[in-house]
Amino acid sequence: MSPRNSFAEARRTRDRIVERSVALASVEGLEGLTIGRLAADLGLSKSGLLGHFGSKEALQLAALERASAIFTASVWEPAADARPGLTRLRAVCERWIGYLERERTAFPGGCLFTTVAVEFDGREGPVRDAIARLFSVWRRRLVVDLRIAVRAGELPRDTDPRQIAFELIGLYMGLNQALQLFGDPHAPARTRRALDRLLR
């Protein structure tokens, strides 16, 4: 096998490991990513799997980055070209509902970020730092459109963009819980009603 083919095969194997890690972590958390479990699931040796990452922490960080890419592709990118401000924010919010309601291929256990935020919020280290960074990036994106909406007169002048972003994130964490823990079929509609009150 040529070096180029070997590299491509190694890359495909690494991608399979990360994809399986994302799915498993959405159900069992990042601590559920054991080398033995993943190796068995994927038909790989433990040493072969570990060789792609070097440590469990590196695997956890790779899973977070892949989950972030999936979330961005599902929620942000389809709305990114909408008019900045309230139009884009509402488009993002609608995609966010759809992501929590229907994205079960990549995240069979629901939103991975909700799971890992609870799992790591009381810890220290690179994984917690990565989770906090990803949440901060998302919060900043929401705040940008909220500020634009205030400047454009789409929201009241005294609106606090950071406060609204805080409430939006809480609303969607609540939606994930309602869907996952209670199987509430009315939760998306309740979320839309709450959004209408929050963004009017």
From the first residue on, what is the mean pLDDT of each consecutive set of 10 residues in the chain (200 residues)? 66 90 92 88 86 89 95 95 97 95 83 92 95 96 98 97 97 94 96 95
What are 141's two structure tokens? 């994106």
The interaxial angle of helices 112-120 and 161-182, nearest 10 deg, is 100
Torsion sign across C-alpha atoms 131, 134, 138, 140: positive
Q: In this predicted structure, what is the pLDDT of residue 87?
A: 97
Q: In this predicted structure, what is the pLDDT of residue 173?
A: 93
Q: In this predicted structure, what is the pLDDT of residue 184?
A: 96
Q: In this predicted structure, what is the pLDDT of residue 5?
A: 62
Q: In this predicted structure, what is the pLDDT of residue 78?
A: 96
123 sits in the region (left: phi over 0; alpha: psi -120 to 50; else beta) called beta
Spatial distance between the Cα atoms of 16 and 190, rounded to a whole number of angstroms: 37
Report the residue count for the chain.
200
Q: In this predicted structure, what is the pLDDT of residue 188?
A: 97
Is residue 26 within 8 A of residue 108, CB to CB? The reply is yes
- Which domains are seen in the chain, by residue range? 3-198 (1.10.357.10)
What are the distances in angstroms from CA 67 to CA 2, 46, 60, 61, 145? Answer: 32, 23, 11, 10, 23
Stated pTM of the model: 0.88
